[in-house]
Each structure stands twice: as C-alpha cells, then as structure tokens.
Amino acid sequence: MEERLTEKTAIVTGGNKGLGFAMSEALLAEGASVLCASRTPGRTGELRERFGDRVRHCETDVTDAESVAAALKTAAETFGGVDIVVSNAAVRHDGFVKKLTPGEWRETVETCLTATFLLTNAAVPYLSERGGRIVNISSGMARRPMPGAAAYSASKAGVEMLTRTSAVELARYGITVNCISPGLFDVGMGADLQKVPGLWEKYLENISLGRAGNSEDIGRALVYFCTEASSYVNGHVLELDGGYLG
C-alpha cells in the first residue's frame, strides 16, 4: 500500500492512549513521523517498537503555552518541520451544574478547549511554511445535551466553533482546519461505558449501523484530513458516529 504521508511530521496531543494512540498509529502507518505530546509516555513505547525513530514522546502540559510551544519546537527540530497538528488531549468531569465544582469546570475547559487554542496559536508559524493541516477532536456531545456533562459538552462545542473560525482565518496561510466528532467508540473514553451493565447495549440501539466505532474508523478519518484527498475541505466538522439516531 502506498504511504500517503511520507516525509510529513505530525504532533498529536494525547497521542499515547485511547483514540490518540489509534490516530498516531494511523499516521505512522501512512509514513509520517509522529511526536506524541502528553504528560506521560503511556503506550508510546509500543509504537516505537513497530515504527522506530519515527516516533517520539515529549512530556507536555497542553494547558501551558510554554510547554505547548516547546513540544512544537521539539517536533520541528527532531523531524525537520511540522505539517500536521492533532489536538486530541481531553479530560472529562461528570457532574450536574449545581454540583460541578469550579475546579472541575476549569480543568475540563482548559484541557479540551483552551489547549486546542494554544496548540493552534503556536502551530501557525510552522504550518504556514508547509501548507499544514490542523485536525481538532470534538465529540458528539458537543451538539446533544446530556445531563451531567455540562463542562465537557460546552468545551467540545467551543472546539467546533474554534475550528470553523480558525479555518476562515488561517486559509490565507495555506492551512486547513477541520474537526472530527466521534460518537460511541470502543476505545478511549467510550470504552468505560462497557463496564456499566446495560448501558453499552442501550447506546448501540441508537446507532443505525449497529456497532460502535473502532481504532480503524478514527484512523481513516484522520488520514483523510491530512492528505490531498481533503485539500478542498476546510472548517468541516465530521460526525463520525455511525448514524446516531438519538
């Protein structure tokens, strides 16, 4: 199979586990070099065993501007530039509005939304040199109100509008900005739902394709946004949910 991202470099926040791991794996399989930016190495070692020196981990606090800038600099110095930026890192604190603490709200918004802004902001000088791609990761919960998910849903809704606004502003620099909005997946946060008796089956009933998404699904969607196949797509939010009916 032809590798469509040979000589491209990507930075993936939270790329060491869950959906982030799946996306890092997909980029590497297409020939890209990947810097996984996260607090801990996680499963990065597994990727290094398979893909060697095309994988690096950089200890990063995605909510800190200096840390994010340092990660981008590391990627550029290690691999010769930055072509693809994937803002995936997230945290979720469940709680009804009347009980959610300000600290839980703040951590969720800073990790999901503010971190996406910081990465976009710092990446522009690198991406504008190479006609780069930014892909943000949202959630189906950005558009569907769910009791107990105010902080997460609000922050992901913000990610989608930030995507659209950034796309308009950065197009003049040859940068496209798009977003993937995953629905129910059997990896990442969604995997935890399988531990709740009956809940997984209940969600599956609302998916027209009758199954949850998997690592290959998120990987293919990401690769599409990073290759020439999507060169005329900008500011788009892809609902990757198998046709959710809820």
Q: Which H or E element spans position 203?
A: helix 199-204
Amino acid at 148: G
Q: Which residues contact 142 (CB under 8 A, 6 or more apart)?
A: 153, 156, 157, 159, 160, 181
Question: Residue 12 forms beta bridges with which residues?
Answer: 36, 86
**Which of 215, 139, 229, 219 lies closest to 176, judged by CA?**
229
Catalytic residues: 152
Report how far residue 56's alpha carbon sits from residue 152's, in angstroms, rounded to the nearest whole number: 29
Report how far residue 241's alpha carbon sits from residue 188's, in angstroms, rounded to the nearest whole number: 14
In the chain the beta strands, taken as DSSP E runs, fall at: 9-13, 33-38, 55-59, 84-87, 133-137, 176-182, 237-240
Report how far residue 193's alpha carbon sits from residue 180's, in angstroms, rounded to the nearest whole number: 20
Cα Rg for the chain, rounded, in angstroms?
17
Q: DSSP states of 61-73 as a string?
A: -TT-HHHHHHHHH
Question: Residue 38 forms beta bridges with which residues?
Answer: 59
**Which of 19, 5, 246 lies closest to 141, judged by CA?**
246
